[in-house]
Structure 1
Amino acid sequence: MLRGLRKNLNIIIIIVVVAFFFTIFYGTFTRRSQNPSQSAAAAATVNNTVITIYDLENQFRNFISQFDNKYLNELDEKGINYLKRLTLESMINNELLYQEAKSRKIKVSNNEINSRLNEIKANFPSDREFQNYLQYQGIRINDLKESIKRDLMITHLTNSLYESIVIPPEDINSYYEENKSLFSTPTQYHLYQMTFPSQEEAEKIYKRVNLGEDFSSLAKSNSIDSYASNGGDTGWISENALPNESRDYIIELKDKLGSITPIIKVGNNYQFFKLIETKPAEEKTLEESQEEIKAIIENEQKRVKLEHLIAEIRNKSKIEYSESLLSLGIGSEPLPTEPLESENSAATPPNLSETTEIPEVTSKSNP
């Protein structure tokens, strides 16, 4: 689990940095009306600008809300701390980009701020609902506008990096030739299925199907899976999405529409399938794929440019972490692009609704 998380960590950090305004809007402002003493404790200091423990906890909750509970429940304490490190590093990178935008004297017009504000308002049924939300969250409209201004300054900064990006046709052609499988659609299968808790029950119904009884009717009255109410109809399933245990049996029936597989043990249950129809595999041409490939290459180049800018800014900046966070492995070596030692993901994560104890702050400079 952690291996997969770490593999894409750089990309996730960049995505979170660029989109960070939205979590700021829905999280950070709530601190203005809550426990000022908590807000004073530093999680990190970025060139003398403090990121508080309270802000970190708010942003962390917003960040993990993007993951489903099953994923989170498979993470142990180190995994949770790893995500918390990701959140803190994203907040630091966001602050660094804002400071860089200020140092370059990037300007944002009132029209831009008001346009973005109207986009936010459009998410509410009415202006009154929007005002009620701000009041409930303790958000002042001027604070919201200031946050919008900050976000737009960062956006202008990052956009300035991308102006020089040009994708030559030969790069598109090369990418297509090297990644043709990405631009093809596997064979699709329209199936009916039945599922039973025991082989004995499966065999009993299987005999009735082979004697000519209607598959759908039997599925409705006997199958235990979620497709039973639809007569066993699974809809279209891509070949690479077929269950491992049944894939070969189903593929063998590709040219035998209406045929039924043997009874197959899938997990703890027993299943058999009826093939209704198929759609052959399709491969997009280079011409059909050009815009998609251009976007892929362009986004990768944007990521690299932004990553380089952040590395350059961090190299000339002073970043200090709370000693207590360092003791948890948050903000310490190894850096977020390097792996953690633990692969254990069995433990249940801590209760995230509780506020983390505010640590005494001692500093460690960024090397």
Structure 2
Amino acid sequence: MGKKQLWMIIAALVFINCLTVAFFLTRVNEVNGLAANDEAVATVGKKEISRQAWLNELEAKYGKDVLKEMVNQKVIEEMAAKYNIKVSDQDVGREYRILQTTYNTFSQKNHQNETKWKEQIRSSLLLEEILTKDVSVSNRELKRYYTKNKNLFSVPAAYHLSHIVVKTKKEAETAAKELAHGSSFSAMAMERSLEEFSANEGGDIGYISEGDESFPKQYITAAKKLKTKAVSKPIKVKEGYALLKLDGKISGKSYSYNEVKDQIRRQIALEQMKTPASASILWDEAKVNWFYGDKDPN
């Protein structure tokens, strides 16, 4: 599996984990400030669902996974300190850039959590460094890998777009005039766009790049001509007509061998491992004891 495809999977898993952890812990923190947990969080007719019953259900379904995620984070921090392993801001920034340009649901809402995303990336890179710290790969092998897989270290130009899709050209032209007179693109997308998924996000479809098959080819063509925050003329699409807004752009970049040789060493070493790259491998060394008691956290 290529590095880009791998990061798409990692991004999706990290996002889901973040949501789960945030949801569960937020509710627990709310309860810590309450005198009693029998407050009703919902009623069905005359029957109530208490806050405590709700939290018990959350713990039963997500508690172990959330705790494991927290333990793994602490394990990575402990082992990184033990072996004096660090990850540069440049490495984190490069992976974040790749994440933005290859994960096209990386919307403005997610982008606003840039710090949290970079923390997750740093943690993942630290884990890779810890697990592969004793692996030596020759310069010849590193350079051969780089030459063979240069496409993995080239980030294409990516355009952060929002769109409004309507049925007819007349509707699109009317919408364009309203936008030109100051109407909110986001509000209009939520109100009028036929594409429901993005409409719920104010029309935001995240970053797309050349060759992205998730959206019409005309989108990239139009995006290249737009200035940031500008709106396109109506574009004919399968569902009708679309208006595009360019929210931002990331320029393309090809990384040199020296910039990615450490990443390549980790990649080769990880491919040679017979077990998944998981912090769980380090639990014994970190002397982990946890609420669930079992030795195998999986």
Which of the two has higher C-alpha Rg? 1
More contact order relative to length (CA 8 Å, sep ≥ 6): 1
Calculate the TM-score normalised by the size of structure 1.
0.33
Calculate the TM-score normalised by the size of structure 2.
0.40
